[in-house]
Structure 1
Amino acid sequence: MTRAYLDNAASTPIRDEVVKVITHTLKYSLGNPSSVQHSYGREARSILEESRICIAKNIKASPSEIIFTSGGTEANNLVLRSSVLDLGIRHIITSQLEHPSVLQTIIYLSVRYKISVDFISINEKGILDFNNMEEILKKNVYKKTLVSLMYANNEIGNLLEVDQVIFLCKKYNAYFHSDTIQVIGNIPINMEKLNFDFATASAHKFYGPKGIGFVFIRNNILKKIKPFITGGGQENGIRSGTENIHGIAGLSEALRLSCCNFASYIKKMQYLKSYCISELQKIIPNIIFNGLSSHPEKSIPSILNFLYPTKKDHLLYFHLDLMGVSVSKGSSCNSKKKRSHVIQSIITDRCLLNKTMPIRISFGIFNEKKDIDLLVKALQKIGK
């Protein structure tokens, strides 16, 4: 059966070049990077630090600001928990659109450590109200505050107006954490120009291996962070444990390859998205695109989210899968829920929600026009 994989926001296929790097590292790098007394350990250490340098170079950061983790969820947890425990954060500002690894961790911290939490108002397109954000910051100016907002939403693709957030954080002396998991490796990012205090990344979102990611922590903050995992003192003393050398090497190679080809990849993604929008409009009268996903200048090129009129409820995705089309209703971490918390946050019309199902299409560099054609044909069959 011909298949179309259109769930790249959940996980991307791994590149052949990355597989080669991982395989070579697994086969020939047998040393522990902390065992620098012999050549095997020093070789592993060299791979680790060269990878760190490569990653830092591609996001315009210092190598010492890169701390490796098991992925995006751990990276977000590290930032949020360390901010409360080590930086003395007593107030967190976020939105209802964040990833579960952010929202659930914030809820836990608010209960466990009596941290006050405010959610920025959003409209039906998922646009944040920055006047409301400033009101919240002003009201809590005497509390140590962390603002946690994702750069590109993983369900509706909205791009955050980061310059506005950075301006307000600086004005009110708040720390800024951005979940950049859909951004790093997919669009250019420059930490020299963006005044983020923390940012997070996961390799399997940009054609690298699963189970490896990193957190960016600004150097002036890094020295204040105590061990998140204790033991051997690896990763600047923050995350103990023998580093995943083959995963790190694969992450580094995946990021390097993406950064070398951003212009062509973004152009391709924009074409696929534009074509998909026009084809969907032909078969679905008055189609509703969620958030700003259909606005090319205000959303990430790889994500398109819309409401599909159907009575098949959650079986819609299985019907599409049987026809060879892989899509999702939103974040894979929310797959057990009937409705995405993001969609429920921006669509207040319950009647509309009951008559439709959200479909998230997320494009990747290996997708072609024929994948969209297969999706459209499958939707037409389901609609009959």
Structure 2
Amino acid sequence: MKATNRDVYEKVTKPLVDSAVNGFNATIFAYGQTSSGKTHTMMGSKTERGVLELVVNEIFEAIESNPDREYLLRVSFIEIYQEQITDLLTGSTRLKVSDTHNEVVIKELSEEMCSTPDSVIDVMKKGEKLRHIACTNMNERSSRSHTIFRIIIESRSRCETGSDEIAIQLSHLNLVDLAGSEKVNQTGATGGRFKEGCAINVSLSALGKVIDQLSKNERHVNFRDTKLTHILRNSLGGNAMTAIICAISPASVDETLSTLRFATGAKTIMNKPVVNEVVNDKAMLKRYEKKIKDLELQLVSRFKELNLLYSISSFHFCFLHYSILLIHFFPFFSFFCFFIFLYPYCAFILSLLHSLKVP
């Protein structure tokens, strides 16, 4: 059976796109050895659309099907070449990475606003022209760098437009095209190509190490060893939904086994995605007020139940006192008294369990 990029998209990436539109961070990787088809899968060709283009079309279809929210899309495109970060939209090089409030930020990274699928694709093609690509024995157009095409999706409810109480959902959708691992005896790389191949292998080795550490639940994970793992920290066991497309090739059995081991380890990692919201002070206060009111109602309900229990207990103290006298003189009343004594408690416990049942 021959699988197409559309098949890969439908089975692997479409659910992540739907989640990203609804406020969850998401990341889609393409991983594998050189010449295995990663770039073709992500970027497509003249005869077949890639995952990136299918993702973009799906985003705008989802936006059109949700008229209750208004959306704003921004895109950025970076290249990691020999551990140097380049903005593919402006050509700026040696960008710095920093951690701010548990978020990894690339300083001075440009973003472009997009309002149509075509405008997003145009930005992607513009960046692709600046990417490092070279010819090797394994691949006529071998990617010599990693790229991350990021789509930033902001949305808010239309009923909040013009209101002081604003809650904005803000999610990042990362589309990552990794350079392929390669062996010198296969690629025939020399000089600059050889240096590029070494940098690629070191970076991918660090990514594999991070995946291995996360799969083993180690306390310390070496995210900062490379720019790639640092930037994608949230995508690896953090606040994001992540899908990894592993491409293999019959050109090297060893590389294929290595890719499959990588995929096996990655499948065991548990991410912790949450809806990302930016809420202003008034909206936050309104939410807290609602939460306080809900808690007050729960407390009133519990107090009523406790008062009922106290009333039942008082009644049963008197009932028990007179029942003992009654049973002493009329033993055949014992079963009737026992039933009257226990029934309210059983009914109270059953109602309490019903109220605590998780919907």
TM, length-normalised to structure 1: 0.23
Greater length-normalized contact order (CA 8 Å, ≥ 6 residues apart): 1
Q: Bigger radius of gyration, 1 or 2?
A: 2
- Normalised by the length of structure 2, the TM-score is 0.24
- Which structure features the higher share of helix residues? 2
- Higher strand proportion (structure 1 or 2): 2
